[in-house]
């Protein structure tokens, strides 16, 4: 797992030429064009907004999130609700997610964005967001196919408290760069990183199965009272047989 993310995407459109003369005698002008949104800026804007809501607390409340506060990231933003360990569904989603999936995503599980082979890892990462709580970021890639160019993306997950005070909501965003093509687009998780909400704290590692530590071994219960005349390991068969007794039920005449 790496905490470093490369800001370049296969969908970047960058053309560059050397400043030199062409055969016709004119100068070649340098052009540099970029297509689509800037994922690093959008993720940074959303995280900065989340930080502004904290006001000295570890995690802000869901009720404090206002659309006007994330105008530039609104099309890419979403709100998640934790429904089970490692599982969450979209409560709200911006237009970009609808374009990527080719359908309305509200109510759908967030793992539906990923191919089956990556869903387990996303579940492990997502559970640490709620359990830590902590921040998570993942890098995604959707392979090229018929009507589907190669597409890369980044997702950010920021924990939120529900109205009950438990951390079961998350503010996040998905930003892709390049042509979406024919939907739905599903991704492989290529990298992930987790960050503590309190600077200097140790982040919770996304372990398979959602356990931060190995489960404790089962131990037999301690009896409330000691056993009378416990069996000795050196008893002979005759001594053991002498312990047996026959209980009969007395009947009346």
Identify the pLDDT of residue 252.
Answer: 61
- What CATH fold (topology level) applies to the domain 39-197? Beta-Lactamase (3.30.450)
Tokens coding 123:
């579940």
CA distance 38 to 177: 8
- pLDDT digits 0-9 by tens, 98-122: 999 999 999 999 999 999 999 999 9
Decide: 155 and 172 in contact? Cβ < 8 Å.
Answer: yes
- pLDDT digits 0-9 by tens, 75-85: 999 999 999 99
Other CB atoms within a 10 A radius of the CB of residue 244 amount to: 6
Other CB atoms within a 10 A radius of the CB of residue 188 amount to: 14
Q: What is the pTM of this model?
A: 0.69
* Structural domain boundaries in the chain: 39-197
Q: What string of DSSP letters covers 133-150? A: TEEEEEEEEE--BTTB--
Other CB atoms within a 10 A radius of the CB of residue 186 amount to: 19
> Confidence class of residue 7 from pLDDT cuts 50, 70 and 90?
very low
Return the minimum-mean-pLDDT range out of 41-55, 80-94, 197-211. Answer: 197-211
Return the minimum-mean-pLDDT range out of 50-54, 128-132, 228-232. Answer: 228-232
Identify the pLDDT of residue 40.
Answer: 93
DSSP 8-state class, residue 113? G
Region 87-98 average pLDDT: 95
**Going edge to edge, which strands form the sheet with 169-177?**
87-93, 77-84, 169-177, 151-160, 134-142, 188-196
> What residues contact 217, with CB distance under 8 A and at least 6 apart?
none
């Amino acid at each position: 797992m790496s905490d470093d993310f490369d800001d370049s995407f296969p969908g970047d459109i960058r053309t560059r030429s050397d400043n030199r003369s062409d055969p016709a005698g004119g100068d070649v002008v340098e052009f540099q064009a970029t297509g689509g949104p800037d994922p690093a800026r959008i993720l940074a804007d959303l995280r900065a907004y989340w930080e502004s809501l904290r006001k000295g607390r570890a995690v802000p409340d869901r009720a404090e999130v206002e659309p006007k506060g994330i105008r530039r990231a609104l099309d890419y933003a979403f709100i998640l609700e934790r429904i089970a360990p490692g599982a969450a569904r979209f409560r709200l989603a911006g237009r970009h997610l609808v374009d990527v999936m080719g359908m309305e995503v509200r109510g759908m599980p967030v793992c539906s964005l990923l191919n089956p082979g990556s869903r387990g890892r996303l579940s492990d990462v997502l559970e640490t967001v709620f359990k830590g709580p902590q921040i998570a970021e993942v890098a995604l890639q959707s392979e090229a196919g018929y009507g589907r160019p190669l597409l890369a993306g980044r997702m950010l997950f920021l924990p939120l408290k529900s109205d009950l005070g438990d951390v079961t909501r998350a503010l996040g965003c998905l930003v892709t760069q390049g042509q979406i093509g024919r939907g739905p687009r599903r991704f492989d998780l290529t990298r992930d990183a987790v960050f503590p909400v309190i600077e200097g704290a140790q982040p919770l590692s996304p372990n398979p199965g959602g356990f931060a530590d190995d489960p404790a071994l089962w131990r037999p219960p301690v009896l409330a009272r000691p056993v009378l005349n416990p069996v000795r390991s050196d008893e002979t068969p005759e001594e053991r047989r002498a312990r047996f007794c026959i209980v009969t039920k007395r009947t009346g005449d």
